[in-house]
């Protein structure tokens, strides 16, 4: 039985490029996939890095602050894109990746 309703439109175009590979690398190191199957987050103290991430994925996502600990604040971007979330899982970036990550399937041409 087919699901009803329109096919979800993703915020992120799923097409390999140097910028796309850069963004995947950031997510593999400092990103977070939520277990809800749609939310993606990247945390950094470097706002310029978050701006570069947004540009690399060609998305407009607000950079906001969140409390990292009692005395420390950091900046992050968070957005919802179920299609991108599924893609990330398919290439090896998973929720709780620090416990599960082994290999991220990036085409060889995007390694320097």
Q: Which CATH number does 18-94 carry?
A: 3.10.28.10
Q: What is the pTM of this model?
A: 0.84
Under a CB-based contact definition with an 8 Å cutoff, are residues 63 and 75 in contact? yes
User: Can you give the pLDDT at residue 66?
Assistant: 85
97, pLDDT greater than 70: no
Report the percent of the chain where pLDDT is more than 90. Answer: 62
| pLDDT tens column, 28-63 | 988 999 999 999 999 998 999 999 999 999 999 999
Residue 90 above 80 pLDDT? yes
**Residue 37 to residue 35: CA distance in whole angstroms:** 5
Residue 74: CB partners within 8 Å, gap ≥ 6? 43, 44, 45, 65, 66, 68
């Amino acid at each position: 039985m087919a699901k009803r309703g329109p096919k979800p439109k993703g915020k992120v175009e799923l097409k390999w490029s140097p910028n796309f590979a850069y963004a995947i690398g950031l997510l593999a190191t400092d990103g977070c996939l939520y277990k809800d199957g749609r939310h993606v987050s990247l945390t950094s103290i470097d706002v310029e890095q978050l701006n570069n991430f947004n540009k690399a994925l060609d998305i407009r996502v607000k950079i906001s602050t969140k409390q990292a600990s009692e005395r420390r604040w950091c900046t992050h971007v968070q957005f919802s894109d179920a299609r991108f979330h599924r893609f990330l899982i398919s290439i090896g970036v998973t929720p709780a990746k620090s416990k599960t990550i082994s290999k991220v399937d990036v085409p060889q041409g995007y390694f320097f």
